[in-house]
A and B are shown apart, each in its own frame.
Chain A
Amino acid sequence: ETGVTQTPRHLVMGMTNKKSLKCEQHLGHNAMYWYKQSAKKPLELMFVYSLEERVENNSVPSRFSPECPNSSHLFLHLHTLQPEDSALYLCASSQVVSNEGVEQFFGPGTRLTVL
């Protein structure tokens, strides 16, 4: 596998279900990100992890719970979601050096539908 992979690619869940999204990066990067992309809205940053520590959390509801067990893996645990949480969830990684701007590498995304 190369780049950034995400599983599953598609997920349909009920509001009472618990599920997890998985992201893995094979690029040796030191930062990983979760974004939410809804129709006609810009990508919204949800969480940022650098060296496995959460460094940003943009007022995301507690029904979304991230986990970063190591620098290559990132999870998003989902619990008691609402229909408005249906969106494309994108994972990204980058190699951050001294706060310089660097490109982010995105995975293909998980298309989530909450019924």
Chain B
Amino acid sequence: SQKIEQNSEALNIQEGKTATLTCNYTNYSPAYLQWYRQDPGRGPVFLLLIRENEKEKRKERLKVTFDTTLKQSLFHITASQPADSATYLCALDGDSGYALNFGKGTSLLVTP
């Protein structure tokens, strides 16, 4: 069955460092992969989308890579700030063109 796995443990890093979050998938051939941020008690907020034919995408301090051979995406936040503390969700396209399948998310804590 299709499976999406994200870092199982929470990630604690110091302000100013680069945070790297991992999303691995099995039994999937996704056309694209998305990353969302979710704060406690709030809905997820879209951050970046990367397509299967793209290796890397950047947006301000965010960088996403997509390796379809390794079946893995890495999500980087450079020069991290305490305001970056949140849960980050990886999502892959579902069977139809509509739905997304989400991972459980990785909780990131950036300390001053």
Contact = CB atoms under 8 A, between A and B. Distances in A.
Interface stretch (B14-22, B72-80, B100-108): B100-108
A92 B43 contact: yes
Contact of B96 (A43, A99, A111): A99
Nearest to A49: B98
B102 A42 contact: yes
A54 B77 CA distance: 37
B4 interface: yes
A74 interface: no
B103 A109 contact: no
A42 B46 contact: no
B58 interface: no
Contact of A43 (B32, B34, B41, B89): B89
Interface residues of B, number: 25
Given A48-B98, A96-B98, A104 B46 contact: yes
A48 B99 contact: yes
Given A101-B34, A101-B51, A45 B100 contact: yes
A87 B2 CA distance: 24
Contacts of A4: 43
B49 interface: yes
Interface string A93-115: 01010111111111111010000
A101 B43 contact: no
Nearest to A90: B43
Interface in B44-58: 44-46, 49, 51
Contacts of B46: 103-105
A96 B31 CA distance: 14
Contact of A42 (B4, B41, B99): B4
Given A101-B34, A106-B43, 19 more contacts: A33-B98, A42-B4, A42-B102, A43-B102, A45-B94, A45-B99, A45-B101, A50-B98, A56-B98, A94-B98, A101-B32, A101-B51, A103-B34, A103-B46, A104-B100, A106-B45, A108-B43, A109-B41, A109-B42
25 contacts: A31-B98, A33-B99, A40-B104, A42-B4, A42-B89, A42-B101, A43-B44, A45-B100, A45-B101, A56-B99, A88-B41, A90-B43, A98-B97, A99-B97, A100-B97, A101-B34, A103-B34, A104-B44, A104-B100, A106-B44, A107-B43, A108-B41, A109-B41, A109-B43, A111-B41
